Structure 1
Amino acid sequence: MSTATPPSVPHLDLLVPQVRHVPPEPGEATLAALYAHDESARGPATVRANMVASLDGAAWGPDERSGTINDAADGRVFRVLRALADVVLVGAGTARAEGYTPLDRPRGLEHLHGAPLELAVVTRSGRVPERLSGTDRPPFVLTGSDGAARARAGVPPERVLEVGSGTDLDLAAGLRALSDRGLTRVLAEGGPTLLAQLLAADLVDELCVTTTPRVVGPGPGRIVAGAPAPGAGRARVALPRHARLAHLLHAPQDEDGSPAGTTLARWLLPIV
């Protein structure tokens, strides 16, 4: 009997344990190089989405916050991604649930980017989260014509980007508006609804996914919402999408030294 491997069976690479270690270092030069932005973006901005999920696919823990399923390894990469970005893009619901406030460059990583880190909030209603309204560092607000007046009550008019008609939002137009302001490196931090909209519109260049060794059980949704919001279903490409793995990091220990197993993958979504 032949033992030859059929040509249709793929080879497998054992990525863990990895020969190359990336220990913590002042300035995080190695991680910054691993996550350097691709400057040959296909559009006016490069969109990198960063999400965390449990082993069984949950996007949040029992308190409906991602902080209960992430860990120190996720936090280390999270800091580098923010340090490299021009602007963080987040849905208003996630901004409220996660308690977003005006952003600063992560301490010790300011050398990776010379400009302030901006925040952009996506909201159909125009409601600006209370912790971001009336601050001396207001976010940009991406909203439609129906929400624009309400948004201007919470942030200065020049920070309101009207990028849709009625309650519909044109996220591509929103990215162009951010790019026109010099914000071309976009870090999308969710939530699942916003990520679903960005994917449906083929606006995500790469997806960074941390998988932590936690089992949450039934209840929480996954990192991509089950159904797009109104106006977000006019996808330019068919799903599912094919992605290419750029790298995979593995944290063998938790912050207290106990065995862990968190993986941090950077996936590239090529033009289709």
Structure 2
Amino acid sequence: MRRLLPVTDMTATSATEAGSDHDWSLDELADAYAYPPEAASGRWLRANMVSSLDGAGQHEGRSQPLSSEADMRIFGTLRGLADVVIAGAETVRSEGYRPARARDAFAARRAAAGQGPAPVIAVVTASLDLDFSLPLFTEPLVPTLVLTGAGSSPERRAEAERAGAEVVIAGEGAGIDPERAVAALAERGLRRQLTEGGPRLLGQFVAAGVLDELCLTLSPTMTAGGAQRIAGGPSVAVPKRFAVASVLEQDGFLFTRYRRI
């Protein structure tokens, strides 16, 4: 892997600083993707998504065919740094989400930041159409959260709680209000926030103006077809502007990071 941006001092002795091609350690990746200082006292929502060259956010319903070994290492690093991983119910179902696990590689870093052993998984759902007998709900290292609205089914909310999940009301209707959802998580001390989609959920965060950062893997693949883009839903009135923060490259994959202007 090599760093393309930001451009570094080519007289530097460090391989990472000089941008040379080498196998990055998890510590190097964690340093490169560290949350900004403001995340410790406020909140910071970043998204991690992958896209093909022709704009597909998935292939045959899943993101894995667009991914690579390096992409999965960054995926794991972003999880290792987060307080909470936010995902829509459809993504949880299609990707077969399991509880987040504690990883030795991030244990010291998480302890120093006052974080728990693993990130909380927060599932966003209006219908609560989820299998609450799955390990994600019955066997997590830290309790799974279910983010929903006050208008969702009381019976399904009770079922989620019986399974061991914590239900968080973050909207007046059946669905969530994005601003209220990220605020509710921050109030629980879950300030370093990571969303893994899907497209509809990411579109909600974009439209609400609460997305601070996008980590986008550009996969050197073409899929054609009618797959969704990484963000869906109604278009915003004025396009949201982001500035490039960093670009890494390996095996033709570009690992980009953009921050909201």
Q: How does the TM-score come out when normalised to structure 2?
A: 0.82
When the two structures are superposed, what TM-score results if normalisation uses the length of structure 1?
0.79
Alpha-carbon spacing, 1:85–1:42, altered in 2? closer, same or farther (3 Å): closer
Counterpart amino acid of 2:258? W
What is the CA distance between 1:167 and its match in structure 2?
Answer: 1.7
Correspondence for 2:128: 126
1:75 aligns with 2:72: yes
Provide the rounded CA distance (Å) in 2 between the counterparts of 1:140 and 1:100.
13
Inter-CA distance 30–42: structure 2 relative to 1 (3 Å threshold)? closer
| Residue 172 (structure 2) pairs with residue 165 (structure 1) | yes
Task: Give the aligned partner of residue 149 of structure 2.
Answer: 144
1:205, 1:72 → 2: CA distance? Answer: 26
Alignment of 1:232-243 (within 5 A): 238-243=237-242
2:131 and 2:90 mapped to 1: Cα distance?
8
1:151 is displaced (CA, Å) by: 2.4
Deviations 1:170-212 (A, max 9, x none): 1211112111211100000000000000000001000010011
Counterpart selection for 1:264 from 233, 248, 255: 255
Which residue number in structure 1 is paired with residue 10 of structure 2? none
RMSD value over aligned CA atoms?
Answer: 2.5
Q: Secondary structure at the match of 2:161?
A: coil
Whether 1:65 aligns to 2:62 is yes
Change (3 A) 1:133 1:247: closer
Give distance in 2, aligned partners of 1:211 and 1:90: 20
Q: 1:122·1:142 contact (CA, 8 Å) conserved in 2?
A: yes
Alpha-carbon distance in 1 for matches of 2:41, 2:199 = 22
Instruction: Answer 1 or 2: which has greater helix percent.
Output: 2
Q: Report whether the alignment pairs 1:186 with 2:184.
A: no
The sequence identity of aligned pairs, in percent, is 35
Residues 209, 265 of structure 1: 8 Å contact kept: yes
* Residue identity matched to 1:128: L
Any residues of structure 2 matched to 1:246-265 within 5 Å, and which? 246-251=245-250, 253=251, 261-265=252-256
Gaps of 5+ in 2: 8-15
Q: Which has the higher contact order (CA 8 A, sep 6+)?
A: 2
Whole-angstrom distance in 1 between the partners of 2:199 and 2:98: 20
Q: Which runs of 5+ in 1 are unaligned?
A: 1-12, 254-260
**Displacement of 1:158:** 7.2
CA distance in 1, matches of 2:121, 2:63: 19
Q: Deviations over 1:62-94 (max 9, x none)?
A: 3x1001111112111111111100000000010
Deviation at 1:44, TM superposition (A): 4.0
